[in-house]
Amino acid sequence: MARRGKNSKRSSGKRKRATRKISSLGDLCPRCNALCCRYITYQIKTPKYDVDFDEIRWFLCHEGVCVYVDEGKWHLQVSTNCKKLTPGGRCTIYENRPEVCRDHGTEEDCEFTGPVDVELCFHTPEAFDRWTRENYRFVRI
Ligand code: SF4
Ligand code: SF4
């Protein structure tokens, strides 16, 4: 599952939903076990040269990694639990949590309530190779 960055100026962020609005997360957070605290995502360069495509193939050879495109921007996502999360899904640094965490969880950007729309999402190098062959015939893969 892919997450979306917070906005076009940030290079990293948590997923942002645009399809369904929720008015309050107070009831949802205790039930979802902190989905938004179990990954990191980072904007990467748009592949242009053989080496860029090959690098993405390398990313996708790893467990817990996906690469997605959202609003024309390419992102790497890695599934990993935040070290500040308790087994019960609570943040142990809530008062001092990073800005990206503060920005998340308001109105439409919670991933608990439904899937996210992204333009492209790859979970395996094979899927990425297929897409590359269909769209970038000049790339040597
Ligand atoms: S903001 Fe959404 S994804 Fe994050 S803990 Fe609350 S309900 Fe879960
Ligand atoms: S710092 Fe807290 S809010 Fe941010 S990802 Fe970690 S557990 Fe979640």
**How sure is the predictor about 137, in pLDDT bands with cuts at 50, 70 and 90?**
confident
In a domain, 103, yes or no: yes
CA 84 to ligand 1 center in whole angstroms: 15
Distance CA 57, CA 55 (A): 5
Structural domain boundaries, residue 68: 29-135
Q: How far is the CA of 34 from the centre of ligand 2 (A)?
A: 9
10 part of a folded domain = no
Q: Burial, 140: exposed, middle or buried (Cβ in 10 Å; 0-12, 13-18, 19+)?
A: exposed
Residue 82 lies in a domain: yes
Q: Whose CA is nearest to atom 1 of ligand 1?
A: 105
Angle, helices 50-60/125-135, rounded to nearest 10 degrees:
150
List Cβ neighbours of 135 (8 Å cut-off, separation of 6 or more). Answer: none
Closest residue (by CA) to atom 4 of ligand 1?
36
pTM (2 d.p.): 0.81
Tens-place pLDDT, residues 85-127: 999 889 999 999 999 998 886 556 678 877 677 899 999 999 9
The answer to whether residue 12 sits within a structural domain is no
Provide φ and ψ at 65, rounded to 5°: -115, 140
Q: Is residue 3 part of a domain?
A: no
Instruction: Please tell me the total number of residues recorded for the chain in this structure.
Output: 141
How many domains does the structure of the chain reveal? 1
Report yes or no on 98 lying in a domain: yes
